[in-house]
Amino acid sequence: MAGARKGGRSSADAAEFNRLVQEAKDRHNLSDIISRHTKLKKRGPRELVGLCPFHQERSPSFEVNDGKGTYHCWGCGEAGDAITFLVKKERLTFIQTVEQLLGDFFPTISDEERVKRKADDEKAMAARITIARDIWSRSVPAAGTPAEIYARSRGITIPLPETVRFVMTPRWRNDETGEVGRDYPAMACALQDVHGAIVGVQCVFLAAGGRRKYERVREDGTKAKAKLSFGMIVGSAFRLGPPSDHVILCEGPEDGLTLWQEMPDRSIWVACGTAMLPRVALPSSINYVSLAGDNNDAGRAAVEAAVAAYMGQGLPTTSFYPDPEFKDWNDQLRGVRV
Ligand SMILES: [Zn+2]
């Protein structure tokens, strides 16, 4: 049946799998799952905070958002959803996690509440996509801009593709008041959905005219992120190279550009986030996935989760890593050792 399998994965299989994964997550408040490991206090309608279950701390920097179904620690950087939490904290496999979430193991949310949340979420997503498309529409070709200078500083010597542009855009906005921060320069990478429509943008914010990434340590000692994604982040990807039935997936845009420079005839797709690596929605034309991982614990865990996720969709999946002395593909390109 090998031949049948090759062309036989239907988009229905992938859609059904993704639907099951989403349903598994939507059935619970993430805080009910995390509360088994750390005590959480309410901080907003659907936001909670507590001591981080992943690192030792005395003041709470671990945030849980039941609206988004996500958690994030400002201290150690751990972040993800119900699935990544259970994989990391209870050492379950991706598939075991989905099964557990679909069972009676955790308290579930009422159907009525779920319908309401779904409608709210769809509205919020549409608004986020509008913001991302606005950022993209204000961007300009990268040639001769700080975006190009940044790419060159990372050893990327090939002409940049259409999907990489330069933009001046705010790092933050307040959805309630409509207030926005001041504009910063950024390399903008287009995020495309399963149909190829631009539904998001990952901005790599830049400093020193593009010679380095934006870096700032806040007053409380936490670091401001250089990369922010806008629009639809889950399921979308920053695409490089020609379309093909074999896609190579990686975490970050610098790695994606590096791999594309080395393998220009291949399809390289960037998930734009460690937690996003298992969640890219792949069109039914793709029948083989290779994961180009990062060489650290978080990178290897993400690849493991991704292998399980894509194999679960009936896709043969393999993984490969840079040489052991390099953290990621771009470090390897530039000879920057750990
Ligand atoms: Zn932490």
Between the CA of 158 and the centroid of ligand 1 the distance, in Å, is 39
Between the CA of 273 and the centroid of ligand 1 the distance, in Å, is 18
pLDDT digits (tens, 9 = 90+) for 206-234: 999 999 999 999 888 888 999 999 999 98
Query: What CATH architecture is 28-108?
Result: Alpha-Beta Complex (3.90)
- The domain ranges of the chain are 28-108, 116-334
Minimal CA–CA distance to 37: which of 104, 73, 90?
90
Three-class secondary structure of residue 250 per DSSP: strand
Between the CA of 48 and the centroid of ligand 1 the distance, in Å, is 15
- pLDDT the model gives residue 9: 60
Written as six digits, the tokens of 209 are 């005219």
Between the CA of 51 and the centroid of ligand 1 the distance, in Å, is 8
Between the CA of 55 and the centroid of ligand 1 the distance, in Å, is 5
Spatial distance between the Cα atoms of 209 and 65, rounded to a whole number of angstroms: 36
Encode 182-216: b = buried (16+ Cβ within 10 Å), e = exposed: eebbbbbbbbbbbeeebbbbbbbbbbeebeebbee
- Residue type, position 215, single letter: E
Between the CA of 75 and the centroid of ligand 1 the distance, in Å, is 5
Sorted by sequence, the CB contacts under 8 Å of residue 203 that are 6+ apart come out as 135, 167, 169, 186, 187, 188, 189, 227, 228, 229, 230
- Positions of the chain with pLDDT under 70: 1-12
Between the CA of 270 and the centroid of ligand 1 the distance, in Å, is 26
Spatial distance between the Cα atoms of 295 and 117, rounded to a whole number of angstroms: 38
Between the CA of 77 and the centroid of ligand 1 the distance, in Å, is 6
Predicted TM-score of the model (pTM): 0.75
Between the CA of 54 and the centroid of ligand 1 the distance, in Å, is 5
Three-class secondary structure of residue 217 per DSSP: strand
CA torsion angle 129 215 257 198 (round to 10): 10
Between the CA of 56 and the centroid of ligand 1 the distance, in Å, is 7
Between the CA of 43 and the centroid of ligand 1 the distance, in Å, is 18
